[in-house]
Amino acid sequence: MAVEGHTLEFCLAEEADFEEVMSISGDVYGGIDYLPARYHAWIQDSVRRVILAKKKGQIVALVSVNIVDDGHTAVVEGLRVAPLERGKGIAGLIQGYSLNLVKDQFPEVKVRRYVRSGQLAPEILTKFRLICKQEILSVQFKAEDIRPKLEAAFTWLKESGKQWEDPVLLGASEAKRLFLSQRVVDEVLPGKAIIQDWVPYKPLESNLEKLVSQDFIWMADDKEEPTVLSLGTAPYRVPLGTGYHRLNIDIFGKQFPRARNQFLAQLQQRVSTLEGPIYCLLYFEPSIWQDMLSFCQTTLELHKDRDFGGQNLLEADM
C-alpha cells in the first residue's frame, strides 16, 4: 500500500520494537498512555495481534486487535500514528490491514468493537452501532494526600446518614456468579457489557474466567441482589511524570450513593498500598455525572483534570 508515494509495509510487533513504538507515542492520551505497561504482555498473547505499519523501515503506526467473547468479537485497541504522519490516511490503512488479517486467522469473528472517547461525529453512527456510553471523571492526587480525605469522607458519610453501606469485596467465584447473572446483565451492565479499563467484554464464562484471574478488585453493593458493581484495575505506571500511577475504576449501575460508595471503597483499597502521584479515571453511568462531580469537588477536594467527553462503546459487523 502506498501513502504519498511511499510504500507502507505491515508486520507483527516484536519485543525489539518497543522503544521505537514508544518514540511515536509521546503525545498519546496526554501522558496517561497504557501501552508502555501492556506492550510486552500484548505481543505474547495468542489471541491478540499487534500490528505495525512501517515506511522506509521506520515504524509509523500501531494498532492491536484482541479476540474476545468466545472468539466472536475483535476489539480494536491502541491505535496510534506517528505525529508527523497523521492526516494521510494511515490509521484507516493499518486498521483495514489488521481486520483482514483477523478475518483470515480468526474466521469465527463476527463483529468488531471499539471504545472511543469524545463526542461522536454523526458519520461515525452511520458506520457503527452505539452500544452504550459511560462518563469519565479524571482526577489527580497524591496517595498520601488522599488517604486522610478518604477517612474524613467515610466518617462524615457514616455519621450524616447519607446512605452509607459498606460495599462488599467479591471473590473470584462471587464475581463470576454476579457478573453472569441475568438480572445484572439486563439491569446493571451498560449495554450488557463489562468494560474493564476501555476493554469491552460480553458477560460470558470464558471472559470472566480470564478477568478474575487478574489482579482486579471486584465489588458490589450486595452479594445477592446487587444494583451497583465495580471493577478496579491494578494501577500501572504511565509516562506523565516520575512515579505516576494510573488507576482505573469502572462502575456499573445507576444509583449515585451506591456508586459513590464503590468509588470510595475501591480507592481506599488501592491507595493503602501506593505512594506518590496518581492519575485516577473513574467511569460511570452518565445520569449520575453531576452528583459524582460535586461529591469529588466538595468532599474530596478533587477537581476534574480534563474533559474526555465520555466513553463510547461502538460495534460494527466484520
Ligand X SMILES: CC(C)(COP(=O)(O)OP(=O)(O)OC[C@H]1O[C@@H](n2cnc3c(N)ncnc32)[C@H](O)[C@@H]1OP(=O)(O)O)[C@@H](O)C(=O)NCCC(=O)NCCS
Cβ neighbour number for residue 240 with a 10 Å cutoff: 17
Please choose, from the candidates 117, 144, 115, the residue with its C-alpha nearest in 3D space to the C-alpha of residue 131. Answer: 115
Closer Cβ to ligand X, 135 or 221, answer by number: 135
Q: Report CA dihedral (190, 194, 199, 204) to the nearest 10 degrees.
A: -130
Closest separation in Å from C-beta 267 to ligand X = 26
Closer Cβ to ligand X, 80 or 260, answer by number: 80
The cell numbers describing 67, all together, are: 479476540
Closest separation in Å from C-beta 181 to ligand X = 32
Closest separation in Å from C-beta 173 to ligand X = 34
In angstroms, what CA-CA distances link 261 with 24, 192, 229? 39, 22, 10
Closer Cβ to ligand X, 76 or 296, answer by number: 76
Closer Cβ to ligand X, 248 or 261, answer by number: 248
Closest separation in Å from C-beta 240 to ligand X = 15
Closest separation in Å from C-beta 251 to ligand X = 22
Closer Cβ to ligand X, 90 or 220, answer by number: 90
Closer Cβ to ligand X, 236 or 308, answer by number: 308
Closest separation in Å from C-beta 195 to ligand X = 14
Closest separation in Å from C-beta 38 to ligand X = 13
Residue nearest to ligand X (CB): 92
Closest separation in Å from C-beta 3 to ligand X = 9
Closer Cβ to ligand X, 48 or 80, answer by number: 80
Closer Cβ to ligand X, 128 or 295, answer by number: 128
d(CA 318, CA 315): 9
Applying CB under 6 A, the residues found at the interface with ligand X are 28, 79-81, 86-92, 114, 116
Closest separation in Å from C-beta 222 to ligand X = 35
Closer Cβ to ligand X, 90 or 194, answer by number: 90
Q: What is the CA radius of gyration of the chain?
A: 20
